[in-house]
Amino acid sequence: MPACINVHSGEIIHWFYDWKNSFIVIECFEDLLKKYPDKEIYVIADCWSAHTSYAIRIWKFFHPRLHIVYLPTNSSWMNMIERVFSKFDADILQNSNFQTVREAMNRIANYFKKELSFQN
């Protein structure tokens, strides 16, 4: 589940996919460009191969409004979204017993929409 935080509003933007690869990451980036059409967008990413692939580099060349800032290896703790995922794991995933994938997705979406806002 790719996700990001708008540091100005605290909004958590997330997507549901069965898998993640460079093309999914590009779809997420394109959604961000549509959501914020007149803004420069800075994305903090780890050095996972899907974030640094040739496809991402080519796509990035044609989309100069989106800036990718790569964290050093083994420093995921520096990424704000990792704190969100940690809290989300404790609040939602641990000891959960969802009956369907749709139920899990709805609970996750509601959690990000209503219960969790980014705090400085």
Question: What is the chain's alpha carbon radius of gyration, rounded to the nearest angstrom?
Answer: 15
pLDDT at 76 over 60: yes
For residues 94 and 86, is the Cβ–Cβ distance under 8 A? no
Total count of domains within the chain: 1
More confident residue, 89 or 41: 41
For residues 16 and 1, is the Cβ–Cβ distance under 8 A? yes
Per-residue pLDDT band at 115 (split at 50, 70, 90): low
Residue 91 lies in a domain: yes
Q: Residue 13 sits in which domain range?
A: 3-115
- Residue 43: which CATH number? 3.30.420.10
- The tens digit of pLDDT for each residue in 28-74 reads 999 999 999 999 999 999 888 999 999 999 999 999 999 999 999 88
Residue 44 lies in a domain: yes
- The tens digit of pLDDT for each residue in 36-45 reads 999 999 999 9
User: Where is 70: in which H helix or E strand?
Assistant: strand 66-70
CA dihedral for 62, 75, 111, 106, sign (positive or negative): positive
Residue 77 lies in a domain: yes
Q: Is the pTM of this model over 0.85?
A: no
The tokens describing 10, both together, are 């605290």
Residue 120 lies in a domain: no
